[in-house]
Amino acid sequence: MMTIIGFIRHGRTSWNEEGREQGKCDIALNEVGVRGAHQLAKRITSETWDVVYSSPLVRARQTAEIIGEYTGLPIYLDSRISEVGSGLIEGTTEEERVRKWGTNWRELDLGIESNNKVLTRGLAFIKEVCDINRKKNILVVSHGSFIEQILEVLTPHYKITEPLNNTSITTLKKNKNEWDCILYNCTKHLKTT
């Protein structure tokens, strides 16, 4: 038996629909997000998972709690898997950022958490959780930017071709000292009624 991690991006929020940068802002799931989390949770009941870790941000925590309602799995909150801090751009749309800081806003120091900080906390979490849950199936409910940065390091040979959808599951399997991506951005549960 091998260690498996299922990364879940939280359910949809009103800010997702408006194209607003969420970062560390505590935005709750909207109706679509709650429905998607229920569809995901139903799917998970037909799979084998042992434990759920969640970002404490409300949109991830709500998604994890819905999974817990269906599965009875224990849920542990860990701030190391919170979304990338977006500094001054939190709450803004791309159009608002361009209006305020210009088209080169990405080149400015707007207080966005560095990739190095994100990876330091994220990889420390992965190591600790895998040591505690050796040869178990671990669900991690987190956020799009955070998960994508972690995937780039854990599976450098896997080419990410599209951004993660809300309530998607991406599954990694550990083979010796290497992670393989065996499922990416899967939302088949959203296609069921």
Which of 10, 38, 143, 189 is labelled catalytic?
A: 10
> Residue 165: which residues within 8 A CB-CB, separation 6 or more?
9, 185, 187
Q: Which has the closest alpha carbon to 182: 157, 149, 153?
A: 157
Question: pLDDT tens digit string along 36-64?
Answer: 999 999 999 999 999 999 999 999 999 99
Please say if the pLDDT value at position 192 is more than 70: no
pTM of whole model > 0.85?
yes
Q: Clarify whether 10 is annotated catalytic.
A: yes
Q: Clarify whether 90 is annotated catalytic.
A: no
Between strands 4-9 and 137-142, the pairing is parallel
Please tell me the predicted confidence (pLDDT) of residue 184. Answer: 96
Please say if the pLDDT value at position 189 is more than 90: yes
Mean pLDDT of 175-191: 93
CATH for 4-191 (3.40.50.300, 3.40.50.1240, 3.30.70.580, 3.30.1360.200): 3.40.50.1240
pLDDT confidence bin for 109, thresholds 50/70/90: very high
CB of 89 closer than 8 Å to CB of 97: yes
Q: In the chain, helix, strand, coil percent, each to 5?
A: 45, 20, 35
Binding site membership for substrate: which residues?
9-16, 59
Quickly list DSSP for 93-125: -HHHHHHHH-TTGGGS---PPPHHHHHHHHHHH
Question: pLDDT tens digit string along 85-95?
Answer: 999 999 999 99
Binding site membership: which residues?
9-16, 59
Return the number of other C-beta atoms located less than 10 Å from residue 42's C-beta.
Answer: 15
> Residue 50: which residues within 8 A CB-CB, separation 6 or more?
73, 133, 136, 137, 138
Q: Which has the closest alpha carbon to 184: 173, 175, 168?
A: 168
Please tell me the predicted confidence (pLDDT) of residue 159. Answer: 86
Which of 21, 38, 83, 143 is labelled catalytic?
A: 83
Domain boundaries, the chain: 4-191
